[in-house]
Structure 1
């Protein structure tokens, strides 16, 4: 029986290259699990593998949203599960790759999302617009300290969702999270990591490359397509910093520095999140024979 392989881990660890190697070796398809790579046109800033470098391997859940659309975990869960099950039915290996933490859990665990209430959500979104994410994060800390510790004070959308769930359910936000058990479809979960100094250097080089390869022009083009009105796309790391620079809040050099800082901060959260999952097979991305180690892990 074919079982999926998930390649997860912090940003800039080398997940995309390993996933392509695995898919090529096993005759599989890639299933993206990076929230922002779902957006058409968000290419440079998300380090999306260019179409001509995908080795002829089919990629699913990439370029499926317009930047004006809202990316939701629930939509992804439904669509990606359908992709995985279709591939399994064909006898093809799904190679799931990305680092969006809640998306990974939604795909591989039994996660049923609490209902949403437009009135309650709208009230918190209005407060976010009026007061800012820091003020709402403080409010979350009062009603659900654990959620506040786990959600960045800049992540307005997740803060709003946590406050909404707490109000609607009367329970902490974490109570709606799934219990970690056997991963769906018997998926092998492989996580890549590197020495912290090495990873920081890779993040710096990646950020520098983004800005030298036309990232600012990419953002300008997306703004003409409605990026500013997007609830999730406009808040992506890098994109929000460049938008602020184009608005005159700071210069492009500072936008680059803030992008590096934001990415490094996000990587620390990814590491902490993934390290809590006992099912993960950790591999050092700088080690020789990385593909062989990954395939051996998948074989059990």
Structure 2
């Protein structure tokens, strides 16, 4: 660098589908290279959402500092733009203390927000509320048709009402299509991404087992407790995998067995979407999730960009 300052060490990201062992690898790698971990799983931002998000218990973190866990109340809405600011502040703080930063999580857009050159347009609660009311009144097909007139790329790509509303809001506020804000895969600062390669059939079985274990550990009681603390009021938290299904158990709309089945199906679909997202990024270095030398190989990938 021109001023003689040493360049910032590369940020490390451990990515992959849910259930692939990202947290375990991140902790082992952090111990190996003297790093701290920054959570990039959107649902692990929430206090009290522990069992259903497979949040690593403190004792299993092996003394490795974790950042951006338990930072939101379930009533609050998770924000990618807020996370970008928080994650980059945490990265700078960790680096200034002479340590490395490891982002870990399966929320692809959150990883991208922290690592890539990407701007997030502002929001207007009044306009957002108006658009949400129009969505309720006219339905998703009508809103997508409206979006197609100003942003056909987003209209073709987005099938979720909340995201269609966001795209319309951005266009109304900025005059630019929402799709123009998508990044072009340029790192904001040096980075290395390590992805966990899985056998899909084995992952499917592991995810089913994990949902059953969550129930045995008390997921229904966790959802019941969170309901008393505003879970239903949360736009993000209430839709989380497992939580939305077990709220319906509390309402008498689903049996526990039915909720388990729906959660397993939804979790498998989510894992497929995660793999599709991460597979599209050619910068990710893929390592097999069960490689006996996984930590060594991950450390070697980090070392290639310098210590």
TM-score (norm 2): 0.90
Q: Is 1:164 equivalent to 2:169 in the alignment? A: yes
Q: Is 1:225 equivalent to 2:232 in the alignment? A: no
1:2 CA drift (Å): 3.2
> 1:240-259, aligned counterparts within 5 Å?
240-259=244-263
Distance 1:200-1:141 versus aligned 2 partners, 3 A rule: farther
Q: Is 1:173 equivalent to 2:212 in the alignment? A: no
**Would you say the 8 A contact 1:39–1:67 is kept in 2?**
yes
> 1:190-269, aligned counterparts within 5 Å?
190-269=194-273
**Would you say the 8 A contact 1:3–1:88 is kept in 2?**
no
> Where in structure 2 are there 5+ consecutive unaligned residues?
1-7
- Give me the CA root mean square deviation: 2.1
Match of 1:289 among 293, 297, 301: 293
How many angstroms apart in 2 are the aligned matches of 1:104 and 1:62? Answer: 15
How many angstroms apart in 2 are the aligned matches of 1:144 and 1:70? Answer: 25
Could you report, residue by residue, the CA deviation over 1:57-99 in whole angstroms, capped at 9, with x for unpaired residues? 1100000111111110111111111011000011111111001
How many angstroms apart in 2 are the aligned matches of 1:253 and 1:131? Answer: 35
Name the SS for the 1:184 alignment partner.
Answer: coil
Name the SS for the 1:122 alignment partner.
Answer: helix
Q: Is 1:90 equivalent to 2:94 in the alignment? A: no
Bigger Rg over Cα: 2
How many angstroms apart in 2 are the aligned matches of 1:245 and 1:135? Answer: 32
How many angstroms apart in 2 are the aligned matches of 1:133 and 1:249? Answer: 25
1:117 CA drift (Å): 2.5
How many angstroms apart in 2 are the aligned matches of 1:140 and 1:206? Answer: 39
How many angstroms apart in 2 are the aligned matches of 1:208 and 1:133? Answer: 34
Name the SS for the 1:6 alignment partner.
Answer: strand
1:173 CA drift (Å): 2.5
Distance 1:85-1:67 versus aligned 2 partners, 3 A rule: same
Distance 1:57-1:132 versus aligned 2 partners, 3 A rule: farther
Name the SS for the 1:185 alignment partner.
Answer: coil
> 1:112-127, aligned counterparts within 5 Å?
112-127=119-134
Q: Is 1:56 equivalent to 2:63 in the alignment? A: yes
1:139 CA drift (Å): 6.0
> 1:106-145, aligned counterparts within 5 Å?
106-129=113-136, 144=151
1:129 CA drift (Å): 4.8
Aligned equivalent of 2:34 = 27
Name the SS for the 2:189 alignment partner.
Answer: helix
1:200 CA drift (Å): 0.8
Distance 1:254-1:166 versus aligned 2 partners, 3 A rule: farther
Name the SS for the 1:299 alignment partner.
Answer: helix
TM-score (norm 1): 0.92
1:19 CA drift (Å): 0.3
1:55 CA drift (Å): 0.5
Distance 1:200-1:59 versus aligned 2 partners, 3 A rule: same
**Would you say the 8 A contact 1:113–1:176 is kept in 2?**
yes
Distance 1:252-1:136 versus aligned 2 partners, 3 A rule: farther
How many angstroms apart in 2 are the aligned matches of 1:61 and 1:236? Answer: 18
1:44 CA drift (Å): 0.5
> 1:32-47, aligned counterparts within 5 Å?
32-47=39-54
1:26 CA drift (Å): 1.2
